[in-house]
Structure formats: structure tokens, C-alpha cells
Amino acid sequence: MALAIILNNSLRPSVFQNILQGTASQSKTRKWFTQLSKSRNSTNHSKLLQRLPLTILPNIGPKRLMSSNHAKLWPLEKIVNLLLLGVIPATFIAPNIVLNDLFAGLTCLHMNWGLEGVVLDYVRPIIFGSAIPKLAILLLYLISLSTFVSLIYYNHKDIGIGCTFRKFWEITDEDE
């Protein structure tokens, strides 16, 4: 994705103007790198990165606003993945209502987070405008919620997910 952004924006004239500015921009770049090397032990990196000269980073268009801080969500995603490693076999070996519901919730969370990453990466406001990405995220949330509600309903009103897979394993060919 980053390569596509760089290639798309490399055709813009403003990028070439920033690169071809000459010695003035080179001296700015040199000053910036000098400040960066002096502040390696301090916490001023974010301030220096904000003052990064345009000759290093080309103009890549409007920023995509993130809905939340995904760095805080990453550990929770890893915990859900680890829980799924135990819940999936337990649901199929000893199915009960608690394991079936836990399986339904964890798999729907896992599915939602994965597809949300796909939607955020490929349905970008830069390409589709501002309405279609919001509609895609809303549609994803509706699909995830309806999948979760359907699985919970199936667990409580029918035989459940674990027993269903056990019945699939019991199916044999009647011709033999």
C-alpha cells in the first residue's frame, strides 16, 4: 500500500519541485538529521518528525483519519487469538452452551477485526470519497453483529455449533 501511495504521488509536480529545490532544502535536511542524531537519547523524536523536510517525505495527499488508536487494540487481538486456540478444540470435543457461546463470540470478534483491517486498507477515503468507506464499515459491523446474533440463537434454540460439527463427522456414505 505504501509503495502504491509513493508511486501515485511521485507523478505530482509538487514532489519534483521539493526534490529539485537545491542547496536550501539540502541544508534544511542536514540540520534536521543533525538535530535527530543529537536527540537520540531524548523523547523529542515526535517533534522532529513533525518538522521533517518535504524533500524526504513527498506530499502524499490528505491524511486518513483513524477512528481509534489501534496500538491499544493489538494486545486484545492477540489474547483473542490465543483463546481461540483452546476454545476451538474444546468446543468440538466437549460441546456445551458456554463453550458454544464463547466460540461464537471469539470467532465473530476475530472475523470483524480482520475484515475491518481489509476495509480500512482497501476502501480508502482518498480513492472512494468520504461516504463509501463509512458505509463499508457500517455494513461490516452489521454483518458481524448479525452473524454473532445468529450463532447465539442457533446455540440456544438448536443443537449448537459443537454438536453440529460432531454430526458432520458422523456422516458416512450409505452405499458402502
More confident position, 126 or 53: 126
Whether 25 contacts 53, CB under 8 Å: yes
148 with 88, same domain: the answer is yes
Q: What is the pLDDT of residues 60-98, one digit of tens each?
A: 444 444 455 667 888 999 999 999 999 999 999 999 999
* pLDDT of res. 44: 54
Average pLDDT for 37-48: 55
CATH number assigned to the domain comprising residue 136: 1.20.1300.10
Side-chain half-sphere exposure of 152, counting CA atoms within 13 A: 10
Residue 66 per-residue DSSP state: P
The whole domain housing 125 covers 70-170
Answer for the pair 84, 104: CB distance below 8 angstroms, yes or no. Answer: no
Residue 102, C-alpha cell as written in the block: 464463547
Q: In terms of domains, do 35 and 90 share one?
A: no
How many domains, the chain?
2
For the chain, give the mean pLDDT: 76
Is residue 24 located within the same domain as residue 76? no
Query: Which of 66, 103, 100, 65 is CA-nearest to residue 84?
Result: 103
**Amino acid letter at 32?**
W
Q: What is the pTM of this model?
A: 0.58
How far from 171 is each of 92, 94, 164, 168, 176, CA to CA, in Å?
A: 15, 19, 11, 5, 12
What is the tens place of the pLDDT at every residue in 145-164?
A: 999 999 999 999 999 999 99
Q: Which residues are within 8 A (CB) of 2 and not within 5 positions of it... i.e. 6 or more apart?
A: none
